[in-house]
Copies of this chain bind each other. A is one copy, B any other.
């Protein structure tokens, strides 16, 4: 039961963090969403910061599984990568574009004010970029992507462009920026 409570706090708290950000998400609201008494929060987490750090780890672990699954599929590497971004889009659309990427959301808000969160988010981005770099290298070996491109640079640029598209989807409440990202990257730029 304690593990269930912990999971519920993290799951529902992550939704609040995604919609309202770090500073506007109070411990009280997380407790109310999970329907548990106050002691439960501080039994599992020392501080709101500790909670947010764990939410970031957990969020990124899920993202990593989605990426690993998408890349482990069949077909050309670029199609696998595109499928991955399509999967992410579907989540954003389901939430009516009120929730973006937790790394981007908390990163924007706390990068200047909270070094622990900033470092954790930077590490998650590093791992994400590395996984994308590997996928692009495979695409190059398969002759799908111009091999004069630096896969690490392209991976970093893609992630940044993606984060910007997610921000814009939130601001416009629209799938357009996400579709534009996929169309420019996968139907144009990277396609030989």
Which A residues fall within an 8 A CB radius of B?
Answer: 18-21, 23-24, 97-100, 103-105, 107-113, 118, 121-122, 125, 149, 153-154, 156-157, 159-165, 167-168, 170-173, 176-177, 180-181, 183-184, 188-189
Contact = CB atoms under 8 A, between A and B. Distances in A.
Nearest to A149: B188
A163 to B, nearest CB: 4
List 8 A-B pairs, minimum CB-CB distance, nearest first.
Answer: A160-B164, A164-B164, A161-B161, A163-B164, A111-B170, A98-B112, A23-B23, A108-B108
Given A105-B108, A164-B163, A177-B160, A183 B153 contact: yes
Instruction: Tell me what chain A mostly uses at the interface: helix, strand, loop, or mixed.
Output: helix
B171 A111 contact: yes
Contacts of A105: 108-109
Nearest to A124: B171
Contacts of A21: 21, 23, 108-110, 113
A107 B171 contact: yes
Contacts of A149: 188
Nearest to A20: B113
Given A23-B21, A189-B189, A108 B160 contact: no
Given A21-B113, A108-B109, 15 more contacts: A19-B112, A21-B108, A21-B109, A107-B170, A108-B167, A112-B170, A118-B171, A118-B173, A149-B188, A153-B184, A157-B161, A157-B181, A160-B180, A164-B164, A164-B167
